[in-house]
Structure 1
Amino acid sequence: MSYGWEPFFQDQVTLIEEEEPTIGRVVGVRKNSFLVTDGNTEILATVSGKMLHMADGLFPAAGDWVMLYESMITRVLLRKNILSRGASGGRGKLDAAAYKQQVIAANLDTVFIVCGLDQDFNLRRIERYVTLVYNCGAQPVIVLTKADLHDSPAHIVCEVESIVFGVPVHVVSAQESTGIVSLGQYVADGKTIAMLGSSGAGKSTLLNRLAGGEVQRTGAVSSAVGKGRHTTTTRDLIVLPQGGMVIDNPGVREIAFWDSGDGLSDVFPEIERFAQECRFGDCTHLAEPGCRVLDAVATGELQASRLDSYHKMKRELEYQELRHNTSADRAEKERWKDVSLKVKAIKKARRYPARKLL
């Protein structure tokens, strides 16, 4: 089994000047250790002290390929993509946005956005999930679970497809095992999938059906609030009988963005299309005369809720990009300040050389 090993990673190893380095993939993340497999055996590894003190070094996450020295991780290979979000507690106001990145998984082929057809269903949340996945450079697939609890799942599919153009939408009932076969195309040998969704959305139950047995504990959902407990508390990469791998994740309470990218244009293509007909090239679609986007809302061509959601996410992403750039500028200024101090110290040493002892 390849565990998803690709030429992209092999090329990196070829350039590393070490004799036959031990390579493994992170299949489990614990509090202070990582479960790593080389394809045959699993090793409980820790991170080397050098990596802990590398400010710009990669820190292992589920799905990462790493280099090992005995039971110590010495290097993380460059990732082909990374799924991350702002750490919980940062949403609400722009000036209270997340200041810390939470890495969910790395080196993915597909991300299952799991949403239950009960009180968990929310179109605006699905928009945010898809934008998050696109920004991280991964491919989203929407999986609507608990189809047995809804009278007209086909109608819901139409609603979802109308806001996520081109994203595959699958309806499944894990309890009745219907629709599971349609997901087989994503879990082929060597493919890696991550699952995102709120607590009680049915991620662990779906994983158990894909695996053909219970590999993750499941829990009941409160009938009062429609929310479940965090039955999944760790991030583990689980190998399926088909050869594919699934990274299950704890339920997500807040969908805070961290990376800015092209996800917004992918999720709102109709707004981007209308925007090309605006009178002004820098139209913000708020109150400008000749705004084709606002005209589309007035004529019913575009839902007002879609535009509101677009503006909200656009503000968050712009704020994140501004903050990242500010942090980068600050780091660059600190670096040059350090260089300047060293240069001054060298000049001073040359101007006032130490007297030789007689």
Structure 2
Amino acid sequence: MENRHPGQVTPARVVGVRKNSFYTSNGQKEWLATVAGKLQQANRRYPVVGDWVLVTDTVIHEVLARKNALTRGASGGRGKLEVMPMRQQVIAANLDTVFIVCGLDRDYNLRRIERYLTLVYNCDLAPAIILTKADLHQDPRTFAQEVEAIAFGVPVHLVSARDATGLAQLESYLAPGRTITMIGSSGAGKSTLLNRLYGKSIQATKATSEKVGKGTHTTTSRDLIVMPKGGMIIDNPGIREIAFWDADKGVESAFPEIERLAYGCRFSDCSHAHEPGCRVLQAVANGEIAQERLDSYHKMNRELNYLAERQHKSADRVEKERWKEVALKVKALKKKR
């Protein structure tokens, strides 16, 4: 731990997460640290990759305020309303861009890309879509055009780690001091992409199964990699379930054409399901919007509305319990008098 003195409070960044410890860096040296007991209490900010922290010797005492964070509902619900996630999982913090990585093999799925976009927008972050394995197709541009049609204004990049196609387009994201995190399914090519951008193999990779078209979790930890040109990339394990936690304006941003058409509906509270004079349903009938896209819009709205309602009820319950505790303390004081 060079340039550090015993007992000295040192600002550092979390660059790696293991089971019960964290790799931290002051820009010159990395060292392993644990968290102080107070950070393990409820409602305390707990370190994640990308966080800035205050460290004394090998103990993290405080997590500094985050510029932003990529969060999701902890896995396990698989999108069913009755088993929606009960807690938040913070994936990474203090980000400039989120790379949504999708392979042009069996991983390619427009509806999944819509969910990723909604997740990123809910966190008020900037997405970029990276379509890997472009070398598998003679005309991969058709895939990019399909994605551009559902990802309005989002940069879409076709890349091939095999022959370096499109890698130069990504250099602007890797300017010194900028931090990117990559999300996508296992086998989408995140680690392979990272290796090519770095210039050598620094993350283990495995081939995608030809039989089922799925990758394995080659990346099992979250690490912040400082790239040769100064930018930083956080590689994440593959995501099986894209569960929401934040219920902000993600759907509005991910489906802007539906939100725009909704202003033309006859009824201000139109659900775009069966009402007469619905401009959105008319657009579906005219072929302006695919029925599958509208179905995806409805599904995510239901999830987010349910999530927002449940979180509101939970907040109310917490507040009631807090005032109940206060009332009991007041009653106890009166008895003492």
TM-score under structure 2 normalisation? 0.96
Q: Is the 8 A contact 1:29 1:62 kept in 2?
A: yes
Question: Displacement of 1:78 after TM fit?
Answer: 1.1
CA distance in 1, matches of 2:219, 2:163: 22
Which aligned segments of 4 or more residues in structure 1 are displaced greater than 2 angstroms? none
Equivalent in 271, 288, 313 of residue 258 of structure 2: 271
Question: Displacement of 1:89 after TM fit?
Answer: 1.4
Unaligned runs of 5+ in 1: 1-18, 351-358
CA distance in 1, matches of 2:204, 2:86: 32
Unaligned runs of 5+ in 2: 1-6
Q: Is the 8 A contact 1:28 1:235 kept in 2?
A: yes
Structure with greater Cα Rg: 1
CA distance in 2, matches of 1:182, 1:20: 42
Aligned pairs for 1:338-357 (under 5 A) are 338-350=325-337
Is residue 138 of structure 2 the alignment partner of residue 151 of structure 1? Answer: yes
Equivalent in 102, 113, 136 of residue 123 of structure 2: 136
Question: Displacement of 1:100 after TM fit?
Answer: 2.0
Q: How many residues matched? A: 331
Larger mean Cα displacement after TM superposition, 85-94 or 27-36: 85-94
Equivalent in 26, 29, 32 of residue 17 of structure 2: 29
The equivalent residue for 2:36 is 48
CA distance in 2, matches of 1:92, 1:320: 11
- Aligned-residue sequence identity (percent) comes to 64
Question: Displacement of 1:21 after TM fit?
Answer: 3.7
Q: Is the 8 A contact 2:53 2:63 kept in 1?
A: yes
The equivalent residue for 2:320 is 333
CA distance in 2, matches of 1:97, 1:91: 8
Equivalent in 153, 168, 182 of residue 181 of structure 1: 168
Q: Is the 8 A contact 2:8 2:56 kept in 1?
A: no
CA distance in 1, matches of 2:334, 2:184: 59
Aligned pairs for 1:284-323 (under 5 A) are 284-323=271-310
Is residue 47 of structure 2 the alignment partner of residue 94 of structure 1? Answer: no
Is residue 182 of structure 2 the alignment partner of residue 195 of structure 1? Answer: yes
- SS of corresponding position for 2:11: strand
Aligned pairs for 1:8-19 (under 5 A) are none
TM-score under structure 1 normalisation? 0.91
CA distance in 1, matches of 2:133, 2:96: 25
CA distance in 1, matches of 2:150, 2:336: 66
Aligned pairs for 1:118-133 (under 5 A) are 118-133=105-120
- SS of corresponding position for 1:312: helix
- SS of corresponding position for 1:162: helix
Question: Displacement of 1:218 after TM fit?
Answer: 0.5
| 1:226 counterpart letter in structure 2 | G
- SS of corresponding position for 2:13: strand
| 2:28 counterpart letter in structure 1 | N
| 2:116 counterpart letter in structure 1 | Y
CA distance in 1, matches of 2:90, 2:75: 12
The equivalent residue for 1:168 is 155
CA distance in 2, matches of 1:72, 1:320: 35
Question: Displacement of 1:20 after TM fit?
Answer: 7.8
CA distance in 2, matches of 1:317, 1:151: 39
Is residue 27 of structure 2 the alignment partner of residue 39 of structure 1? Answer: yes
RMSD of the alignment, in Å? Answer: 1.1
Q: Is the 8 A contact 1:174 1:209 kept in 2?
A: yes
